[in-house]
Every structure is written in structure tokens, then in C-alpha cells.
């Protein structure tokens, strides 16, 4: 099976092509350009170099959240459009689960973290078992203080991955908690992780693919706050 996977949930964007779990090629970049300008051209260049067409793809996969609201929408919309136009199956996977695949070599507990602002991170915990990450917690926005308490209860070091690793590691150092941080080549979200996380998921249609935000956007929170003030002047 040929899988074309997309990751655009944070600053880094990537596209990966896998055949039956083996990585054929991956295109990644971390620039200031918006994903709406880069994601589809990256996929087209990748397929051209592999001498394949978009119609050759059997499954489209995408990180559908959590992460940047804009980035998630771009990735999900791209895959929905491709799956609908080509009448192909698609699947959305947790950004955090995809990130956890970067901890295979480290083993033990993998702690993906994405900066969610306001002293929070998007996080889930995984344990590497049978050469794949096994989920320990659901995806959630969590305060760094709460995460530190949860990690302390594990009584073992953890492996940090994700764009929230610097923020989290600085906090854990203050708590004198043992941890390791992924090297630069494994730190950022990747489409390869998306493809691997998609391998055991049930594919669906373009209509069934939806983003997963975990919490309201800042604009929506501000709107709710304004409506509450107007209701209780």
C-alpha cells in the first residue's frame, strides 16, 4: 500500500511517502512560509521524484490535531480535497501519537509536547512496547505543573519530543526531574510519524475526516468572554 502523509500542525511542515510501512521519501521544511503555499507543492515534487502520480496513492493520511488551528485546517483541507477528487480513502491521526514514533530508539516513556500557550502544552504519554508507541493517556491540554506531577508519579525518565520540548525541559529542570530531549532531527513533528500512526487506523472518506482542536481558538474564547460580559453587565 502506498501512503502519502501530511504534517502541518506546527511550524514545521512535511510530506512523506511510504510503501507498506517502509519510508520511500520525505520532504520537510521549517520556514516562515505559510503551509498553504508549501504543502501541496512539496507533495507534488516528492511524487515527481518518485516517478509516481497522485492517482497512484492508495491512502492519504494527515495529522488532524492538536496543534496550530490554521496549520491543522490547511493539512486536513488538503487531504480532504485530494481524497475527494481522486475517490481515495483517507485517515486523520493524532499529532501527538505521530510524534511518539520518534521515540522508538529511546524506548521507555515518550512525552510529546506542543506549546499551547498560557503555561500549557498539548500532551499525551506513550510507552514504547513491541517496537511501537502504546498510549498511556489521552490527548489533552495540560498545565506544566500538572504534567510534572504526573511524570513524577511514573518514577522513571521520559523522552521529550515536539516543539514544546524547550519550554517543558526548562520547567522540568527547575523541578529536578530526569528527562532526555530528542535530538534536532527527531524533535519536530514529521509526516513519517503520521504514516506510521495511520497504519493501524481504519480509513474513511473525505466527508468523515475532521480536525481535532482540543480547545477553542483564541478568537472563540474572546467571543465567549464578550458574550458573557454582555449577558452579565
Q: What's residue 114's pLDDT?
A: 96
Check whether 213 has a pLDDT greater than 50: yes
Cα 115 to Cα 153: distance, rounded to the nearest angstrom: 22
pLDDT at residue 132 in the model: 96
Give the domain 2-95+189-222 fold.
Nucleotidyltransferase; domain 5 (3.30.420)
Every domain of the chain and the residues it spans: 2-95+189-222, 102-187
> Does the pTM exceed 0.85?
yes
Give the pLDDT band of residue 31 (cuts 50, 70, 90).
confident
The superfamily in CATH containing domain 102-187 is ATPase, nucleotide binding domain (3.30.420.40)
Q: What value does the mean pLDDT of the chain take?
A: 91
Distant-in-sequence, close-in-space partners of 83: CB < 8 Å, separation ≥ 6 = 60, 89, 90, 205, 206, 209
Give percent of the chain above pLDDT 70: 91
Cell of 18: 511510504
> 3-state DSSP call for residue 141?
strand
Q: How far apart are CA 194 and CA 179, in angstroms?
A: 24
What's residue 199's pLDDT? Answer: 96
66 preceded by a cis bond (ω within 30 of 0)? yes
Q: Examine the pLDDT at 223 and tell me if it is beyond 50.
A: no
Q: Are 122 and 71 in contact (CB under 8 A)?
A: no
Structure-model confidence comparison of residues 220 and 64, the more confident one: 64
pLDDT confidence of residue 228:
46
Quick: pLDDT tens for 107-137. Answer: 999 999 999 988 899 999 999 999 999 999 9
* 3 state SS of 120: strand
Amino acid at each position: 500500500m502506498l501512503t502519502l502523509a501530511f504534517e502541518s500542525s506546527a511550524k514545521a511542515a512535511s510530506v512523506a511517502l511510504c510503501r507498506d510501512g517502509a519510508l520511500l521519501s520525505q520532504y520537510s521544511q521549517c520556514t516562515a512560509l505559510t503551509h498553504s503555499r508549501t504543502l501541496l507543492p512539496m507533495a507534488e515534487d516528492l511524487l515527481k521524484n518518485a516517478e509516481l502520480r497522485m492517482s497512484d496513492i492508495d491512502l492519504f493520511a494527515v495529522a488532524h490535531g492538536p496543534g496550530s488551528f490554521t496549520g491543522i485546517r490547511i493539512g486536513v483541507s488538503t487531504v480532504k480535497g485530494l481524497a475527494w477528487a481522486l475517490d481515495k480513502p483517507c485517515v486523520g491521526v493524532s499529532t501527538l501519537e505521530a510524534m511518539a514514533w520518534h521515540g522508538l530508539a529511546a524506548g521507555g516513556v515518550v512525552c510529546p509536547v506542543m506549546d499551547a500557550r498560557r503555561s500549557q502544552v498539548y500532551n499525551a504519554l506513550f510507552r514504547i512496547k513491541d517496537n511501537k508507541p502504546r498510549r498511556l493517556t489521552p490527548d489533552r491540554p495540560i498545565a506544566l505543573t500538572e504534567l510534572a506531577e504526573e511524570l513524577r508519579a511514573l518514577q522513571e525518565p521520559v523522552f521529550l519530543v515536539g516543539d514544546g520540548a524547550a519550554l517543558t525541559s526548562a520547567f522540568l529542570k527547575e523541578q529536578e526531574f530526569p528527562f532526555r530531549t530528542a535530538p534536532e532531527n527527531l524533535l519536530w513533528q514529521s509526516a513519517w510519524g503520521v504514516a506510521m500512526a495511520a497504519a493501524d487506523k481504519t480509513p474513511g472518506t473525505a466527508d468523515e475526516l475532521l480536525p481535532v482542536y482540543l480547545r477553542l481558538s483564541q478568537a472563540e474564547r474572546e467571543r465567549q468572554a464578550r458574550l458573557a460580559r454582555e449577558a452579565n453587565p
